[in-house]
Amino acid sequence: MIKVFLFLFFSMVFPCQAAINVVQGPFSLDETSNLTVSFIKEADESISFITQSGLKTESIDSYQVYDGVPEVETVFFTPIDKIKNVIVLVSWDETNINAKHYKIFAYKYYNGKVSVNNKVLNDGNLSGYDGYNSSGLIFNYKNAESIRGYLKKYY
């Protein structure tokens, strides 16, 4: 009887457990708040950028599957205009054109909220391709050090 009960109990409980595939994080935003940021791989292979504070979860952005599956290459924090920013380098391996597409996203952390930094997001130098059908295109900002250098110089 106990075996039947345990079987029924676990067969109802385990399917209810959602598997969360965290690809980066959680990263704490500051020492005084319990706010963290994480990047979650969704069932459709897109990646969601979320914040969590206690039981509250908020979706900030989503990196969709286009001609390739998105991959979070690096995440770091740096000040821009004296405001803490979360910097995210996302890539898509676009095999149909033999290239890797890179895009840098920035999010401001101000007054306990995370929001898109449109000034950085709209900077055309922070998006580009490596490869592109053997054309020799090279994207220059593929790691935290080079991105940080660019942001320091221009922002």
**98 in helix, strand or coil?**
coil
Model pLDDT for residues 26-83, shown as the tens digit of each residue? 999 988 889 999 999 999 999 999 999 999 999 999 999 988 999 999 999 999 999 9
The overall pTM is greater than 0.95: no
Residue with more model confidence, 144 or 17: 144
Q: Count other Cβ atoms within 10 Å, centred on residue 18.
A: 5
